[in-house]
Structure 1
Amino acid sequence: MFYGKLKATIDKSEFLRSFDEQIKEKKSGTLIYKLNRSLKSLLLARAFVESGKNIVFITADDKLAEDYLDDLDLLVGNKNSFILPDYEVLPYEERSPHYSIRAQRISALARAVSGKPAIYTLSLRSFLRKIVSENLFRKNIIRLHKNREYNPQLLISNLVGAGYEVQFQVSRVGEIARRGGIIDIFGSGTGKPVRIEFFGDEVESIRVFSVSTQRSTGEELDSVIINPAREFSLHDIDTDEKIWEKIHQHGFYEGIELDIALLLPEIGTFLDFFGSEKTIVFWDEFQYFSSLIQEITEETTEFWEKAKQKRKMLPRPEDIFADSSFLKKTLNKYQNLFLSSSFQEFSEIKTTLESPAVSQTNFHGDLELLESSISAKLKTGYKIIIQSDNGSQSKRMRDLLPQFENKIDFTIGVFQKGFTLPDAKLSIYTDHEIFSRYKRRRRHARFSKEEALVDYESLKPGDYIVHIDHGIGVYEGLKKITIEGNTIECLTLKYADNDVVYVPTFQLSLVSKFVSEEGIVPTIHKLGSKKWENAKNRARKQIELIAEDLVNLYAERRLRKGIAFDADTSWQRELEDSFIYEDTPDQKIAAKEIKADMESDSPMERLLCGDVGFGKTEVAIRAAFKAVMSGWQVAILVPTTLLAEQHFLVFKERLAQYPVRIAMFSRFRSKAEIKKDVSALATGEIDIAIGTHRLLSGDIKYK
């Protein structure tokens, strides 16, 4: 953990020793100011490590809470830092939180009742939200131990009540399956699916298994903790008969979380999970919270006024969110400290503590200025740390600053913001701020790849579906059917003459969504007719004819020689490692295959497909750079002037650290500029030309 590496240095800081006194003496109401985000995270980590208490940090919104979580993960590790995201659902909207949000919330709540201290970041909205009580949540966590007894039928009942779905076989988190004395469980707390084998009521073995093969991996466990799949159990509900009818019909119906005041005998807030003696509450920019609470209250009341015209039984606004009086109770009951970027004045402040820290300068890629800054600080005894995202970027920084190789620390893992703490003689630089390229991380839920949701939820009733054996039908929704005592969730497909086919969700490979040109309405097939088989036979014959033409075409192409580009250089690897996002699996495969084709002497002909924002441009940049490094020029043809400018800016930013000249050919450039670039293109001075149809003009020549 990065905090451990910093501790000896920051212990010298008089500012931090004063902060330690605030924590140790349980002082409340202190405003600590002149802090950037990463300095705030450092204070949270220090309070956590030095006090051994729970740290609850409240921010204005979920985005800020996530940013702080990134820093805290680096400082104390993701096993000690959690986020409690809000539902991202409007008040009184009949919709439940997304699966990934539920998983993150369950993880945070489970840690909160575990007795182990941790740091929790959450938005003000999540802080005020009424949720299940600590007692009810705690009793729904199941612990199984090898060679101990637990009635299998009771286990199934408790898991179903806690939100688990019974399936024929387990394929994702929140599912269970039973075959005689064997119960498969994929719980959010385990990270891996487990297979429990019973001998009567005794747990005989607990084994990890793979959802793809349904076979044991060989890993055996002595015990397992199974968190609930929902924040409360259906067994906890004590409510009106009319709502019971809805629950009996739908179970966890959409929006059930917002009705907990009508359902549960005990509710509270997240802070109720923590005792005041073992918890410190930190507030981020507290001066804005009064107006934010008012906004939340007014919004909830407005939606309540609209919703009560349609529904008779509704929780009142005060049953969904706590109000400003809860804020005052928190300030009186817990130790509270206020963190701010600047000096503030509000009535809750009792004393102030000014930070001597200074945020990192943005160097805009000026390495001479960076070298000067580092040299000056080294002369006065500073400890210098340069942070990078990964090993390759760290190596690149070492190569760019060889004179400091044994004088400063190059580390992996990056803060949101760098800073200098003068009284500790510590400076932390981030490579993002050195090169003016800021980290924009793709968010991932904190569970294993095996927990990924199988997405048939994007289908809507009325969509046309193609079944490989039965042809085109209409999707009518999901239905649970019971076969030999097992309840199986199925897609319901309707065909001609009102015939119906049920497709189990674990056989989704048999169906696909109907795709055609816009406006075309397909004919619904009749079960048992030969129409679908005849259509497939005609398609096979057409495919064979097309395949024959393609074989001839590619046989001819194989005889031609293309350009065999050079293998990847060190610069190529550095460029790819400096990408600010983590490559998606498909992005890695596409880039690897395209570069392999480029190194072959056979002509390449590829179509790269992907949705907006999924990294197609980055793959193109890597291919273009590889061509330039092999001594060739590259033309990027785009359909619009606006797209030409966007690509030009992205290429310029990505290749700014390399001697590659890029030009744009479009109507955004003057005639004089175009004329100059046309000439430079012909002489080979321009490496990459990006433009519209202007690149196809007769005066465009390449070296």
Structure 2
Amino acid sequence: MLYTKIASHLEDSAFFRDLLPLREDSQIYHLSQSARALVAAHIWAKTGKNIILVSQDDIIAEDLWDDLVSLVGKDNAFYMPDYEILPYEERSPHYSIRATRMITLLNNISSSIPAIYSLSIRSFLRLIPSRKILSSHIFQLKKGDELNPDELLQRLQNMGYEIEYQVSTVYQAAKRGGILDLFSPPSLHPVRIEFWGDEIMSIRSFSANTQRSISQELGEITVIPARELSLDDVDSGSVIIARIREKGFFEGIENYYSLLTKDLSPFADYFEPDKRIFIFSNYSYVVEEMEALIEQTHSQYRKELKHGSKGKIPKVKELILSEEAFFKCKKQSDNFYLSQSEFVLPGIKENIRAPFSGQPAFEGDLGLFSQSLANKRQQGWQHYLLFDNASQEKRMRQMIGDSVPYLSHIGVLHEGFELDDAKLGLYTDHEIFNRYKRKRYAPRFAPGETIIDYENLKPGDYVVHVDHGIGVFEGLKIIKLDGQEVECLVLRYANDDRVYVPTFQLSLVSKYVAEEGAAPALNKLGSAKWQNTKHKATQQIELIAADLVRLYAERGSRPGLAHSPDTEWQKELEDSFIYEDTPDQAKAGREIKDDMELPSPMERLLCGDVGFGKTEVAIRAAFKAVNSGYQVAVLAPTTLLAEQHYRVFN
């Protein structure tokens, strides 16, 4: 951990020696983002308390967490992303966001060791099921345990797991005879549990790609919920219990937690007030974002009241903390204010300027860099150079030799800096060469044709209902259903017939997609035409599926080339690329190399826009083939493009 390496140097800094205890009415400024992470790490190390580091948005919160992992290690720093959904939006967060949140909550529940939690003000304000509720659905499974596998599968489903025939991603479960597979995020791979009757005989990890075991027996696994609320916790008197019974976990259920249980709290209440410290990064911006979110939520609530039943729409105070509740929560614990600029904050009586300077700009000039380090070394300075990987560190040694003394560390910050009063410099490799450290991208949602926001529909739009076929959207109407007012979409069909679709059944309706200007014929309710159309489409799909099954069965029966696993040369090549992989690049490269190691033919199409790193992935695959003793042919449609690829590969 970087913090452990530099802790003794921080003792030479009057700023860090006098940092604690800090007066409540003080603000520390002149701190870059990475310097703020260092100060937060120091407060955590010296106080032995949980640190809740609050930023204005999730991008900064995630970057701070990234720096904290380099400083204190991944077991001591956690990121609590927001749902990334709007108030009252009929959409649930991506499974990767849910998994990250659950791992963070798991650490809070299962570990007594204080840690640092980085989150945005939106994540801070959001009300979630309490620690008591969540902890009741985290459990362990080990060899020799006795439990009914069918009951375990039902429990997993109630916790939000998708029941599939085969497990391929997190939060899925599958059962075949006495075998139960599940993928719970604390595990890096899905696990296969073998039962003999009701007794667990073995637990093994397996590959989601090959479905083959990849480990010896595991002694124990931890299972966490896929959702922050289990269906077992739903109040039977909930006003939306009918919707729960019909659909289970519907899209946007996170915005309806208050209608399902009254036991909600902000994430901050997962900690005892005297065992937590709030650190606010650029507090002025945090307050601005809080006020904007509260106003946005009130505005959306008023909008929802016009369209739906008042009793079935959570109030604003049931979704997020009010401004008054935020300040009340804040006053219960110690607070630190860290900022880049000297903001004017209410109640702040003293502004303390931190003795930090930014990393000098060398613009890739290694001569200038070496001379600067040598000069500062004569003045008593100590420098750490931070690298992404060992290959970068090795390359730096080769370029500047051993004449320039420095200490190295594998694990980089977003920004290098100098701590002037300790004569300590932390320089990043990517800034020395004027490279950009790529941030990790937020999960991207694949846009489906299913209607998520009916406000995007306009009267006169053509739509398709799963059961009734092509109709015309006419607008919204409140009707009474089982004695309750329900908002419905009005769809007009042939002969001026109408169908009323409750908004909680929007998944049955999708926009009609055709060539621009094409006007389809409306289906007639009750006629066999739509059912015949669906039947023909189903038959065609089955024919295509049969052809694909036959094709892949034939391909799978043919012997292929099983390439050798990655070598040290492969790792050195991949570490030598200037930029960090995007998540999509890493995933594509990993899957391609996994396929290459299988003894069956591979056929893959790698798609991506210009400049998104397709060639880098191809170079990795080509090098792997060469390492296995084979030649590689790169085919291009034109001589110009072939020459371009030659230069890149060269």
TM-score (norm 2): 0.71
| Corresponding residue for residue 388 of structure 2 | 389
Q: Tell me how far 1:98 sits from its aligned partner.
A: 1.1
| Corresponding residue for residue 436 of structure 1 | 434
RMSD value, Cα: 4.2
Q: Matches of residues 15-54 of structure 1 in structure 2 within 5 Å?
A: 15-22=15-22, 28-54=24-50
| Corresponding residue for residue 547 of structure 1 | none
Q: Tell me how far 1:91 sits from its aligned partner.
A: 1.2
Q: Tell me how far 1:215 sits from its aligned partner.
A: 4.0
Q: 1:524 to 1:223 in 2, by over 3 A?
A: closer
Q: 1:189 to 1:348 in 2, by over 3 A?
A: farther
SS in 2 for 1:216: coil
Matched, 1:76 2:72: yes
Distance in 1, Cα, partners of 2:543 & 2:180: 40
1:287 is aligned with what amino acid?
S
Cα-to-partner distance string for 1:174-227 (whole Å, 9 max, x where unaligned): 122234444322112233222333455444433323334444334222222101
Q: 1:589 to 1:325 in 2, by over 3 A?
A: closer
Q: Tell me how far 1:402 sits from its aligned partner.
A: 2.1
Distance in 2, Cα, partners of 1:247 & 1:352: 52
Q: Matches of residues 584-599 of structure 1 in structure 2 within 5 Å?
A: 584=586, 586=588
CA contact (8 A) 1:304 1:317 kept: yes
| Corresponding residue for residue 127 of structure 1 | 124
Distance in 1, Cα, partners of 2:152 & 2:7: 46
Cα-to-partner distance string for 1:228-269 (whole Å, 9 max, x where unaligned): 011110111115465111111110001100011111120010
1:392 is aligned with what amino acid?
S
CA contact (8 A) 2:436 2:579 kept: no
| Corresponding residue for residue 272 of structure 1 | 269
SS in 2 for 1:327: helix
Q: Matches of residues 61-72 of structure 1 in structure 2 within 5 Å?
A: 61-72=57-68
SS in 2 for 1:420: strand
SS in 1 for 2:307: coil
| Corresponding residue for residue 398 of structure 1 | 397
Distance in 1, Cα, partners of 2:410 & 2:420: 23
Aligned residues: 524
CA contact (8 A) 1:161 1:233 kept: yes
Q: 1:526 to 1:360 in 2, by over 3 A?
A: closer
| Corresponding residue for residue 290 of structure 1 | 287
| Corresponding residue for residue 321 of structure 1 | 320
Q: 1:577 to 1:290 in 2, by over 3 A?
A: closer
Q: 1:528 to 1:269 in 2, by over 3 A?
A: closer
CA contact (8 A) 2:127 2:266 kept: yes
CA contact (8 A) 1:33 1:355 kept: yes
Cα-to-partner distance string for 1:13-71 (whole Å, 9 max, x where unaligned): 2211112444xxxx534312221111111111222233332111000000001111111
Q: Tell me how far 1:439 sits from its aligned partner.
A: 0.4
Q: Higher Cα Rg: structure 1 or 2?
A: 1
Please point out which of 141, 155, 158 is paired with 2:155. 158
Q: 1:173 to 1:609 in 2, by over 3 A?
A: closer
Distance in 2, Cα, partners of 1:199 & 1:617: 49
| Corresponding residue for residue 362 of structure 2 | 363
SS in 2 for 1:137: helix
| % same residue | 39
Matched, 1:232 2:229: yes
Q: Tell me how far 1:584 sits from its aligned partner.
A: 3.7
Q: Tell me how far 1:310 sits from its aligned partner.
A: 1.7
Distance in 1, Cα, partners of 2:9 & 2:612: 41
Distance in 1, Cα, partners of 2:348 & 2:151: 53
Q: Tell me how far 1:324 sits from its aligned partner.
A: 1.5
SS in 1 for 2:398: helix
Q: Tell me how far 1:613 sits from its aligned partner.
A: 4.7
User: Mean alpha-carbon deviation: is it higher for 341-350 or for 136-145?
Assistant: 341-350
| Corresponding residue for residue 172 of structure 2 | 175
CA contact (8 A) 2:141 2:221 kept: yes
Matched, 1:93 2:102: no
1:375 is aligned with what amino acid?
A
Matched, 1:249 2:246: yes
Q: Tell me how far 1:519 sits from its aligned partner.
A: 11
SS in 2 for 1:65: helix
| Corresponding residue for residue 613 of structure 2 | 615
| Corresponding residue for residue 578 of structure 2 | 578
Cα-to-partner distance string for 1:293-315 (whole Å, 9 max, x where unaligned): 22111111111111122221101
CA contact (8 A) 1:197 1:205 kept: yes
Distance in 1, Cα, partners of 2:94 & 2:63: 20
Q: 1:527 to 1:253 in 2, by over 3 A?
A: closer
Q: Matches of residues 306-345 of structure 1 in structure 2 within 5 Å?
A: 306-312=303-309, 313-345=312-344
SS in 2 for 1:427: strand
SS in 1 for 2:392: helix
Distance in 2, Cα, partners of 1:164 & 1:66: 26
Q: Tell me how far 1:517 sits from its aligned partner.
A: 11
Q: 1:403 to 1:333 in 2, by over 3 A?
A: same
Distance in 2, Cα, partners of 1:204 & 1:305: 56
| Corresponding residue for residue 414 of structure 2 | 416
CA contact (8 A) 1:53 1:117 kept: yes
SS in 1 for 2:216: strand
Matched, 1:110 2:109: no
Distance in 2, Cα, partners of 1:530 & 1:417: 53
| Corresponding residue for residue 12 of structure 2 | 12
Distance in 1, Cα, partners of 2:229 & 2:536: 44
Distance in 2, Cα, partners of 1:216 & 1:227: 22
Distance in 2, Cα, partners of 1:294 & 1:188: 34
Q: Tell me how far 1:169 sits from its aligned partner.
A: 3.1
Q: Tell me how far 1:436 sits from its aligned partner.
A: 2.0
Q: 1:160 to 1:5 in 2, by over 3 A?
A: same
Distance in 1, Cα, partners of 2:542 & 2:419: 76
Q: Tell me how far 1:154 sits from its aligned partner.
A: 3.9
Q: Tell me how far 1:459 sits from its aligned partner.
A: 5.6
Q: 1:298 to 1:146 in 2, by over 3 A?
A: same
2:400 is aligned with what amino acid?
L
Q: Matches of residues 544-559 of structure 1 in structure 2 within 5 Å?
A: none
| Corresponding residue for residue 472 of structure 2 | none
Distance in 2, Cα, partners of 1:154 & 1:435: 57
Q: Tell me how far 1:117 sits from its aligned partner.
A: 2.1
Q: Tell me how far 1:443 sits from its aligned partner.
A: 4.0
Please point out which of 130, 142, 152 is paired with 1:145. 142
Q: Matches of residues 554-573 of structure 1 in structure 2 within 5 Å?
A: none
Q: Tell me how far 1:274 sits from its aligned partner.
A: 0.6
CA contact (8 A) 1:461 1:476 kept: no
